[in-house]
Every structure is written in structure tokens, then in C-alpha cells.
């Protein structure tokens, strides 16, 4: 249960801080796009260092599925991990709704242009993120001196340049919770399917680089 509690708490922190930055920027115009991207990267880094040795700090159903596809996570953990991540994400979105109301769709991710353009971008972004995670993690856990910096850095980097187009979610739980709570469900399929596809693509690429 410690693993699942850690995943729920870590995902709560990710969604509360990350989407909270979007909501607060809509309210104050003080955070800025770069500040939002940095918030996502920094909270991921912090949660990896805080919880990586407990659950691996996946915080993301696509990452959990990527670890399972790479045979670094036993199948019995997949569903409980995803459920815990969704619980944390929904708790964060409902908390923000109670605090600020339905501002900025609670940070829901929405395509700026074509949904298929955002689909392709989300898939590529998640593939790059999962590739880095597999290379810096130990077994099914994001642990080690550099894991938090590397993974948080990739999240922040991708959010900086791709966020204005697709939202740079790379995380079905991060997108589903604010979409459902705010009622902004028009393009949710993009953010549920593309990250899973991207994580799946990263696994064979990782095996090519590190065949052992």
C-alpha cells in the first residue's frame, strides 16, 4: 500500500502544482508560460527525489505502462498504480476547483491547432520522455542522483517549446482529471491515447540502445 499511497500523493502534487500554475497565471498573469513549464519540471523532480525509492514516482499511467512493456514492472502493479495516479490527479483538480472555481478549464490540455497535430506531438514528446526515464532509472523506479534532474528537465524542456501547441501533457492522468472536472472533454482522446503510444514506441528504441 505504501507504493500506491506514494503514487497518489506524488500525482496529486504534480497536478496541483502544474495545473495550479496555469490557473494562477490566468488569475494574476504573473507566472508566465515559462513559469508554468518550470513548475511542471520542478515538481516532477521533487517528487522523484521524495518518492522514487518507494514507488518509483511514475506519476503517469503512460510511464507505468512503459515500465511494464519493458518488463521492468510486474503486471500485478499496473492497474493499482494507474488507479492511485488517477485518484491523486482527481483530488488535485477538485481541490483547485474548490479554491479558484473553474478558471482556465483547471489547466486542461487543449490542442491549439489540429487535434492530429497535437496527437503526433504528444506521442513524440512522451516517447522522448519515456526513453530518458528508461535510461536513467533503476529497474521500475526513478531513483538515483541524476534521475530527478534528467526527468524533470525533460518535462520542463518539452513543456516550454510544445506547451503552446498541445499542452505538453505526456500524461493521461494529468489531462483526464482537469478535463473531467472542468467539463472540457472535446479532445481528451488525444491525451489518453497519444502518451500511451509514445511510451510504447520508446521501449524498443531503448532496447536497441541498451540490448542487455
CATH label of the domain that carries residue 43: 1.20.1080.10
CB 132 within 8 A of CB 198: no
Q: Note the pLDDT of residue 88.
A: 98
Q: List the domain range (segments joined by +) for residue 202.
A: 2-209
Cβ-in-10-Å burial (0-12, 13-18, 19+) of 32 comes to exposed
3-state secondary structure 128-157: HHHHHHHHHCECCECCCCCHHHHHHHHHHH
| Number of Cβ atoms within 10 Å of the Cβ of 72 | 16
**Cross-strand bridge partners of residue 141:** 138
pLDDT by residue, tens only, the chain of 212 residues:
899 999 999 999 999 999 999 999 999 999 999 999 999 999 999 999 999 999 999 999 999 999 999 999 999 999 999 999 999 999 999 999 999 999 999 999 999 989 999 999 999 999 999 999 999 987 777 777 788 999 999 999 999 999 999 999 999 999 999 999 999 998 999 999 999 999 999 999 999 988 66
Chain-centre distance for alpha carbon 174: 6
How many structural domains is the chain composed of? 1
Q: Tell me what pLDDT residue 101 has.
A: 95
CB 59 within 8 A of CB 11: yes
Amino acid at each position: 500500500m505504501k507504493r500506491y499511497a506514494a503514487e497518489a500523493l506524488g500525482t496529486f502534487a504534480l497536478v496541483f502544482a502544474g495545473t495550479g500554475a496555469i490557473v494562477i497565471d490566468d488569475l494574476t498573469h504573473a507566472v508566465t508560460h515559462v513559469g508554468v513549464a518550470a513548475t511542471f519540471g520542478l515538481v516532477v523532480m521533487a517528487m522523484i527525489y521524495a518518492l522514487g525509492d518507494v514507488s518509483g514516482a511514475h506519476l503517469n499511467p503512460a510511464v507505468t505502462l512503459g515500465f511494464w512493456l519493458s518488463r521492468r514492472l510486474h503486471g500485478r502493479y499496473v492497474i493499482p498504480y494507474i488507479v492511485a495516479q488517477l485518484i491523486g490527479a482527481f483530488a488535485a483538480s477538485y481541490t483547485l476547483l474548490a479554491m479558484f472555481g473553474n478558471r482556465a478549464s483547471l489547466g486542461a490540455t487543449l490542442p491549439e491547432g489540429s487535434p492530429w497535430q497535437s496527437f503526433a506531438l504528444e506521442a513524440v514528446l512522451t516517447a522522448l520522455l519515456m526513453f530518458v526515464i528508461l535510461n536513467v532509472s533503476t529497474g521500475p523506479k526513478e531513483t538515483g542522483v541524476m534521475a530527478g534532474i534528467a526527468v524533470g528537465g525533460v518535462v520542463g524542456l518539452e513543456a516550454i517549446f510544445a506547451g503552446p501547441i498541445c499542452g505538453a501533457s505526456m500524461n493521461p492522468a494529468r489531462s483526464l482529471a482537469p478535463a473531467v472536472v472542468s467539463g472540457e472533454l472535446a479532445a481528451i482522446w488525444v491525451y489518453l491515447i497519444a502518451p500511451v503510444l509514445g511510451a510504447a514506441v520508446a521501449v524498443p528504441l531503448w532496447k536497441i540502445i541498451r540490448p542487455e
